């Protein structure tokens, strides 16, 4: 089960929810994210998203590829702001939308991730500051209930120095994976499959026209678990959502423990043999 640290998420039916402000999707309902949710089991992580954007994206002639969809999902376990964690090689990322502009070739979980912006290829905002300059998008829970106002968002994404004086030049919307080391695959899930796993966005009145998600092996994320911040943006930067959570630590697989035990046994035997020969 996914834990809930201070000021993080909202728990319901073993799922942890980050509920985004309604109506802050620039461009209308089809670019409005309403929620992000996660659930941890003994061997899997489940992720769910609800909003007006379908998994395959929206057809839009303003985009270079005539399609605007969701960017990639990022995980940060480092306790650092997003930019510092990226520069230090501490980010994980997940590409789950096959039609998006991610720079990695396949969907799945990645480690040592660097991120980049594709907003300008998707008729979007050149910076987060530009987005927030529109007062109707500067709402409470702007990036979900875990990053409720723009000061929190700036501080997490760029660090405290930039948060004190954000500009159009220092607040890029880094929304897809530029590079990373592939760790493993994901399994896409539809709304029915997620509902069968206990997902219930309607509890927060956050159900929207499109609900989908994925699952992946728990072992692909840090074995020692701990607190994390996850977030994603649309490719255009018209909306985003974040979720804080806490993963349980995972014990060493019994097979590895057995191998280690065998190794110690042989080492002990060899030492005794050397001693007897001496």
Query: Above 90 in pLDDT, residue 275?
Result: no
- Residue 206 inside a domain? The answer is yes
Lowest mean pLDDT among 25-39, 95-109, 222-236, 245-259: 245-259
Query: Above 90 in pLDDT, residue 123?
Result: yes
Tokens of 178: 């530029």
Query: Above 80 in pLDDT, residue 251?
Result: no
Query: Average pLDDT of 123-147?
Result: 87
- Please, which pLDDT band fits residue 191 given cuts at 50, 70 and 90? very high
Query: Above 90 in pLDDT, residue 258?
Result: no
- Residue 273 inside a domain? The answer is no
DSSP 174-217: --EEEEEEEEE--EEEEHHHHHHTT--GGGGT---SEEEEEEEE
Tokens of 180: 């990373």
pLDDT at 257: 47
Q: What percent of the chain has pLDDT over 90?
A: 76
How many folded domains does the chain comprise?
A: 1
- Please, which pLDDT band fits residue 139 given cuts at 50, 70 and 90? confident
- Residue 197 inside a domain? The answer is yes
Q: What is the pTM of this model?
A: 0.88
pLDDT at 69: 98
pLDDT tens for 211-226 read 999 999 999 999 999 9
pLDDT tens for 150-185 read 999 999 999 999 999 999 999 999 999 999 999 999
Q: How far apart are CA 260 and CA 221, in angstroms?
A: 22
- Please, which pLDDT band fits residue 260 given cuts at 50, 70 and 90? very low
Query: Which structural domain range is residue 191 located in?
Result: 10-247
Question: If we measure between CA atoms, which residue out of 262, 203, 269 comes closest to residue 50?
Answer: 203
Lowest mean pLDDT among 17-26, 146-155, 243-252: 17-26
- Residue 130 inside a domain? The answer is yes
Query: Average pLDDT of 50-54?
Result: 96
- Please, which pLDDT band fits residue 253 given cuts at 50, 70 and 90? low
Question: If we measure between CA atoms, which residue out of 66, 41, 64, 42 comes closest to residue 56?
Answer: 66
- Residue 263 inside a domain? The answer is no
- Residue 150 inside a domain? The answer is yes
pLDDT at 95: 99
Q: What percent of the chain has pLDDT over 70?
A: 86
Q: How far apart are CA 211 and CA 55, in angstroms?
A: 9
- Average pLDDT of the chain to the nearest whole number: 89
- Residue 166 inside a domain? The answer is yes
pLDDT at 6: 33
Q: How far apart are CA 2 and CA 4, in angstroms?
A: 7
Query: Average pLDDT of 238-245?
Result: 95
- Residue 277 inside a domain? The answer is no
Residues 6+ apart with CB under 8 A from 165: none
């Amino acid at each position: 089960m996914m834990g809930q640290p201070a000021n993080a998420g909202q728990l319901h039916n073993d799922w942890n929810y980050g509920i985004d402000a309604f109506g802050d999707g620039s461009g209308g309902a089809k670019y409005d994210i309403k929620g992000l949710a996660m659930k941890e089991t003994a061997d899997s992580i489940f992720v769910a998203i609800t909003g007006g954007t379908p998994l395959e994206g929206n057809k839009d002639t303003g985009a270079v590829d005539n399609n605007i969809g969701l960017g990639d999902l990022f995980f940060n376990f480092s306790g650092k702001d997003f930019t510092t964690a990226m520069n230090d090689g501490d980010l994980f990322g997940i590409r789950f939308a096959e039609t998006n502009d991610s720079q990695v070739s396949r969907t799945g979980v990645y480690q040592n991730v660097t991120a980049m912006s594709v907003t300008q290829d998707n008729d979007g905002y050149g910076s987060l500051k530009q987005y927030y300059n529109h007062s109707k998008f500067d709402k409470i829970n702007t990036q979900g209930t875990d990053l409720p106002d723009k000061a929190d968002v700036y501080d997490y994404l760029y660090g405290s120095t930039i948060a004190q004086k954000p500009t159009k030049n220092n607040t890029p919307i880094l929304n897809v994976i530029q590079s990373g080391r592939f760790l493993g695959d994901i399994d896409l899930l539809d709304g029915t499959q997620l509902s069968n796993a206990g997902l219930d966005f309607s509890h927060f009145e956050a159900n929207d026209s499109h609900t989908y998600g994925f699952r992946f092996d728990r072992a692909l994320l840090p074995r020692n678990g701990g607190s994390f911040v996850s977030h994603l943006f649309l490719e255009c930067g018209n909306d985003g959502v974040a979720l804080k959570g806490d993963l349980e630590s995972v014990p060493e697989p019994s097979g590895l423990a057995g191998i280690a035990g065998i190794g110690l046994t042989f080492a002990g035997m060899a030492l005794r043999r050397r001693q007897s020969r001496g």
